[in-house]
Structure 1
C-alpha cells in the first residue's frame, strides 16, 4: 500500500520487494498502461531531482481499440496488452525493485470490463495495476514534465494527448519557479477524447481538410465547456507564456521537424517549436497520403492512422490558448511516478546528507 505524502497523487498503489541482504535496493519502476501504449521505466536516482534509466520498454498495444463503439475492451486488444505486460513483468522480476507504481488510464477507466481486465492482468502476469483518476493523470504529467517549463515563463499550459483522453493543466508561474510544479496548477481538465477515439469517429487513414476541421471543432467544443480555461487569459499569447506538450503527437512533429532518419528521444526531448513551425508541420503531414505517413520513420505504420487526429487535438489546444512557442517533452506519467516515489523515499535528501558528511 502506498504511503501518503504531500507529493503523492491519490489512487496510486505501491508494490515493494524485500531488501536484498538487509540493504535497501535503489531501483524504481513505473508502468503506464494507456489506451494506445504500454510503457515501463526502471531507474535509479542520481543527482538531486534526477535519475538514470537502467531499463525501458514501450509497445503500442491499442488497448482501447473499438472501445468508443462498444464500451468494452475487445479480446484481441486485451491479448496484445497482456503480451506487453508479460514482458514488463519479466523485466521487473530480473531486478531488485525498491518501489514500483503501476497504473492504467483512460481505456480501463472507461471500459465496462476494465476492472475485470485488471484482475486478469494480476492473475496472468502478477502485476497489480491501479486505475487512476483523470486528476491524478494530469498531476503526474505535470510532475513528469515540469523540469521543461521555461523558468522565465509566467504561465504555461501543459497537455498530454493520449489515446483515449487528453489532460490539460494551466500553470500560473507568477509566484516563482518551484520543483513542485503541481502546486502551480490553477485549473485542469481531462477531455474524454484522444487520438484513438477521435480517429475511430472521424477516420484516420484518409482525412480530408473538411474532416480535419471537424475533428478540431469537436475538441474545441469540449474545451469551451472547461470552466477554468480562461485562468491565464492575461498571459496567453505573450512572451511570458508557452505550451508544453507530452505525447506521441508532439514528439512525432518534432521528429519530422528535425528530419530524423530514426526517432531519437535525446534530440526530441526539450525541442522548441515556433508557431510557424507547427503550422508548416501540420500542413505537411496533412498533405501526405497514408502511405507517405507510414514511410516516415517518425510516424510509421503504428501511428499513420492516428497522427492527424493528434494534430487536430493539438490545433484545438493552440486555438484555445495561442502561444508563440511549444516545448516538446518525450517524458510524462512514468517520469512523474518515478519522481514522486523517489521524493517520498527521500533518496535525494539522503544522498545530500551523505555528501555533506563526507565533506565535513
Structure 2
C-alpha cells in the first residue's frame, strides 16, 4: 500500500496529511494535523518573512518530518501558497524546507504553486466527498446547522479562504484573489474590536479584491457552495453550537447562509477576549477571524445574488487532500 505525505504551508498555518491509498480515488487518513505559524506575518507590509516566522515554521515542519519518517511515508509533496509567492526572501524559506524534507525524501523541496493550481487542488480535495458521502447524524443545539448531509448537487463552487488569498473555483474556471483573513486584518482591522470606519474600509478592500474573481467565475451556474479552510470550518463549528472543535461533526455539515452571516457579523463586533472564549476557536485564529468573517460575508452575498445559493457546505477536505491524491496519480 502506498503511503503519502502532503504538507500545505499557507500564510497563517502549516498542515500535514499522511494518508494511504484506499483505492478508487479515495484516501485513508493516518495523520492530519495543523499548526498556526503565521508565516505571512507582516509580509503584506514589508514584503519579507521575519526570522521569527521562519523559525516557527521550521519547528512545526521538523515535527511533521519526524511523523512522516515514523509512519513510513514513501512519497511527499510540500506546497507553499500566498505568503511565499509574495516574500522577497523566500530563498531562506526554501533552504530551510529542503534541509528538513530531505530527511524523508532526498531531493524533496517545497514548491510555490500558483493561485490557479492552489484552486485546482482545493477543488479536487473538497468535492469528492460532497457528491457521494454522508456523515454523522443530528443537528446543532440551535437547530441552525446540521451535521447530517445529503447527496451534493453540482455544479459546485468551492472557496478556499486562507490567510493571504481566497480561491474561487468551478470546474475549469478559477481565480485566486490576494485577500484573506491575515492580509485583511493587517491592512484594515487594527482596533479591538474594529471601529465602524475600519470595517467600512475592510469591506471596500474585500470588494475591490474579489471583483475580478466574481467576474471570472460563472457563479450563475453553481448549485452548491463548498467552503474549506480554517475560517469556514470555525464558522461551521460555531453554528453547530460545538463546545470544542470536532472535525467529524464539521465535515460536510450544511449551514443556512443567513445563520453564517449572523455569526460573521457577531465575530466582527466582538473584542478578542470574547472570541478567545468561544469553545471551538483556535487561539491562532482569534485575532484574524473577523477578517475572515468579512470575506465570508462578501462571498455569501454574491453567491446568493448571482446563483440563488442559500446554504454553505463545509468540508474538512481541501488542498491537502488534493496534494495527496496527486501523489497517487
Q: Sort the TM-score into its range (normalised by shorter chain).
A: 0.7 to 0.9
Identify if the C-alpha distance between structure 1 residues 279 and 124 changes in structure 2 by more than 3 Å, giving closer, same or farther. Answer: closer
Identify if the C-alpha distance between structure 1 residues 228 and 117 changes in structure 2 by more than 3 Å, giving closer, same or farther. Answer: same
Counterpart pick for 1:120 among 81, 96, 101: 96
Please give the per-residue CA displacement for 1:309-359, whole angstroms capped at 9, x wherever unaligned: 0011111112222121111111211111112222x1xxxxxxxxxxxxxxx
Please give the per-residue CA displacement for 1:121-147, whole angstroms capped at 9, x wherever unaligned: 223553621111111100000010012
Identify if the C-alpha distance between structure 1 residues 220 and 207 changes in structure 2 by more than 3 Å, giving closer, same or farther. Answer: same
Counterpart pick for 1:203 among 189, 212, 220: 189
Q: Quote the residue 2:199 is aligned against.
A: 212
Matched, 1:225 2:209: no
Q: Quote the residue 2:157 is aligned against.
A: 157
Counterpart pick for 1:145 among 95, 119, 126: 126
Deviation for aligned residue 1:59: 0.4
Counterpart pick for 1:315 among 297, 300, 305: 297
Please give the per-residue CA displacement for 1:190-246, whole angstroms capped at 9, x wherever unaligned: 11121111100112542134422322221111222347446233x46xxxx231110
Aligned equivalents of 1:326 and 1:303: distance in 2? 21
SS of residue in 1 equivalent to 2:157: strand
Q: Quote the residue 1:87 is aligned against.
A: 63
Q: RMSD of the TM alignment (CA)?
A: 1.9
Aligned equivalents of 1:331 and 1:209: distance in 2? 35
Matched, 1:255 2:252: no
The count of aligned residue pairs is 300
Counterpart pick for 1:292 among 274, 279, 283: 274
Task: Give the number of the structure whose alpha-carbon radius of gyration is greater.
Answer: 1
Q: Is the 8 A contact 1:39 1:59 kept in 2?
A: yes
Deviation for aligned residue 1:289: 2.1
Please give the per-residue CA displacement for 1:270-312, whole angstroms capped at 9, x wherever unaligned: 0111122112212332342211101112224311110010011
Aligned equivalents of 1:300 and 1:38: distance in 2? 14
Aligned equivalents of 1:292 and 1:326: distance in 2? 25
Identify if the C-alpha distance between structure 1 residues 159 and 77 changes in structure 2 by more than 3 Å, giving closer, same or farther. Answer: same
Q: Quote the residue 1:74 is aligned against.
A: 50
Identify if the C-alpha distance between structure 1 residues 97 and 124 changes in structure 2 by more than 3 Å, giving closer, same or farther. Answer: closer
Q: Is the 8 A contact 2:160 2:166 kept in 1?
A: yes
TM-score with structure 1 setting the length: 0.78
Following superposition of structure 1 onto structure 2, how do residues 151-190 of structure 1 map, counting pairs within 5 Å? 153-169=153-169, 171=170, 184-185=171-172, 187-190=173-176
Q: Quote the residue 1:97 is aligned against.
A: 73
SS of residue in 2 equivalent to 1:97: coil
